Amino acid sequence: MRPLVPELRFPEFKGPWKPARAGDAFRKSKAKGEAGLPIYSVTQDRGLVRRDSLERHMGADAADETNLRAQPGDLVYNMMRMWQGAVGMASEECMVSPAYVVLSPKKGVSSKFFDYWFQNRHMLHQLWAYSHGLTSDRLRLYYQDFAKIPLALPDQPEQEKIAAVLDATSRKITLLTDKKTTLEDYKRGLMQRLFSRELRFTRDDGSPFPDWEERKLGEFVTAFSGGTPTVGREAYYGGKIPFIKSAEISRDTTSEYLSELGLKKSAARLIEKGDLLVALYGANAGEVAFSKLDGAINQAVLCVRSELDLSFSFHFLGWKKNALRARYLQGGQGNFSGTIVKAISMPFPHPDEQHKIAAALSALDAKIDALSQKISEMEAFKKGLLQKLFV
């Protein structure tokens, strides 16, 4: 039996939480929609959001009188995805799909507290356990089953204190994410100005650098890709050689490791930490990264080497990625190749100007990476709170 006291608790609150059912906290609202109210949709990652803010195509709206109405503070969930966290709190009076369930809080219940509680791992398991369906894609959580879910309920002041702490954490994550987005936008704009030569660096004495030359990448690099051991040979895997696939070129870990025999019996090729890698296949085709690992690559990865510093080329290829994808991956089909990559024509500044451009962009990358790390740390901290602040 689960304890009725959370692992982490504010000192001003004493005594166990009260045993209850979800139906003791919420009633099902059947209020009908009304013309003129905004229409909202439930998402798994953003909660309840205005439908017109979603990029994906939405089907035709139901008639206003068929839609359900939600009041500020109501919780709305998708019956088919509640067990995955598809729930959100209404911030204004609005309409939602009749396929959703609208929960109105009863007296003494903080909707914001439950909005966070539904993200808790144990509660998600409960939401799944009380859903009905033969397969996961057909699971549905009807209100009558939701109402039976057992829970422990603190008094409203403690609910609000918990929600306030998690709100503060969420705001911190949002601020860091917004700052990261701003830096990424600034970097894209700077790259556009630098590579179009609208903005130029000068020598240390203030004099201009010479004009840029156009050169093909293959004029100053060598390139090779790898291969994959025969499928099903267990002796080829489980060794100590990181086996880097297309989606892993920027990571410091891999999902598989080759044995020495696997390397010998395949076309996999060894690469070194610091080599420039290009993803040839898959969803991230065209992405570039400097390897963080000594390891081996398969046929979906191209290793590019040169006696010259490739930092400028790395940033240029990253800036050119979308244009290259549009040219070579028609409709999401096709792959890059070593021949295609080496044939890419690129501007070639004086080495000192290359260095200044690469240094400026790398400094921005470092700031963006630092923000990404802080966001990951805050998200892990919030996840820990979600486990410790709830019963």
Name the β-bridge partners of 27: 104
Question: pLDDT digit string (tens) for 129-179?
Answer: 999 997 877 899 999 999 999 999 999 999 999 999 999 999 999 999 999
pLDDT at 56: 56
Residue 2 lies in a domain: no
Question: Looking at the 3D structure of the chain, how many domains does it have?
Answer: 3
Nearest to 212 by CA among 194, 189, 228, 235: 194
pLDDT at 76: 98
Q: Are residues 124 and 161 in the same domain?
A: no
Class of residue 103 by CB neighbours under 10 A (exposed 0-12, middle 13-18, buried 19+): buried
Name the β-bridge partners of 271: 295
Q: Are residues 28 and 149 in the same domain?
A: yes
- CATH code (residue 76): 3.90.220.20
Q: Low-confidence residues of the chain, pLDDT below 50? A: 57, 59-60
Residue 291 lies in a domain: yes
Q: Are residues 131 and 97 in the same domain?
A: yes
183: amino acid identity, one letter:
L
Domain ranges, residue 174:
155-209+349-391
pLDDT at 60: 46
Residue that terminates a domain, selected from 105, 131, 153: 153
In 22-129, beta strands by DSSP E: 26-29, 40-43, 47-50, 68-70, 75-78, 87-89, 94-96, 100-105
Report the length, in residues, of the chain.
391
Q: Are residues 32 and 134 in the same domain?
A: yes
Residue 4 lies in a domain: no
pTM for the complete prediction?
Answer: 0.85
Residue that terminates a domain, selected from 153, 172, 188: 153
Q: Are residues 236 and 340 in the same domain?
A: yes
CB 147 within 8 Å of CB 23: yes
pLDDT at 3: 66
Residue 128 lies in a domain: yes
Q: What's the token pair of residue 211?
A: 């004009």
Residue 285 lies in a domain: yes
Question: pLDDT digit string (tens) for 310-330?
Answer: 999 999 999 999 899 888 886
Residue 13 lies in a domain: no
Residue 229 lies in a domain: yes
Q: Are residues 35 and 67 in the same domain?
A: yes
CB 29 within 8 Å of CB 74: yes
Q: Are residues 326 and 261 in the same domain?
A: yes
